[in-house]
Amino acid sequence: MAQVTITEEGQVVYRTKLVHDEARARRFAGCLAANARFAGVEVVRSRRPGKKGVGWFVRFRPADAARVAALRKEQSRAREARADAEGPGYRFVWDEGTGRYWCWSPSGEVYETCEEECTCPDFVYRCRAAGISCKHQIALRQHQQESLVA
């Protein structure tokens, strides 16, 4: 089953598992391209070699704009769920010099975040271009709302 991901260009797409036979990946891409239900079919070389060496992914998206919008909403909801689950463990500290918050996670990761930006890889490589918030931004909003209520 293909997974849903966001490309660096902000496109919400399906992506296959890593395929180590480029010809096989191209044949599958050809089948998808022949199906009017799919658009933007491409074979993409993996940036990281797997245990078996170099591999390829086939990326594609639904041709139906309503389905693309639904996939984008699903990606946003998944980040909201992670913010709900992990956000209470985050510690936010205001940095007056930058006008942003430092977000510390229990795992030790630290990101600079605000309503418009976050330095986490998910935001930098996916969310920014897709126009959605990362889990840190969502958790920050929740933290700010709770602070107003308290």
Q: What is the pLDDT of residues 110-134, one digit of tens each?
A: 999 999 999 999 999 999 999 999 9
If we measure between CA atoms, which residue out of 97, 118, 127 comes closest to residue 5? Answer: 127
Laid out side by side, the sheet with 3-6 consists of 3-6, 12-15, 56-62, 38-45
CA 123 to chain centre: 7
Q: Which residues are registered as beta bridge partners of 86? A: none
DSSP calls for 67-90: HHHHHHHHHHHHHHHHHHHHGGG-
* 53 or 60: which leads in pLDDT: 60
Residue 144 in tokens? 């700010």
Question: Which pTM does this prediction carry?
Answer: 0.84
- Taking only the tens place, the pLDDT of each residue in 6-38 is 998 999 999 999 999 999 999 999 999 999 999
- Tokens 């966001």 belong to residue: 6
pLDDT at position 50 is 64
Residue 149 in tokens? 């209520």
Report yes or no: 73 and 38 within 8 Å, Cβ to Cβ.
Answer: no
**Rg, Å, the chain Cα set:** 19
pLDDT > 70? residue 150: no
- Taking only the tens place, the pLDDT of each residue in 67-93 is 999 999 999 999 999 999 999 999 999
Which of the 8 DSSP states describes residue 61?
Answer: E
pLDDT at position 147 is 76
Q: Where are the domains of the chain?
A: 3-63, 77-149
- The pLDDT-based confidence of 148 (bands split at 50, 70, 90) is confident
Residue 75 in tokens? 């990606």
pLDDT at position 146 is 84
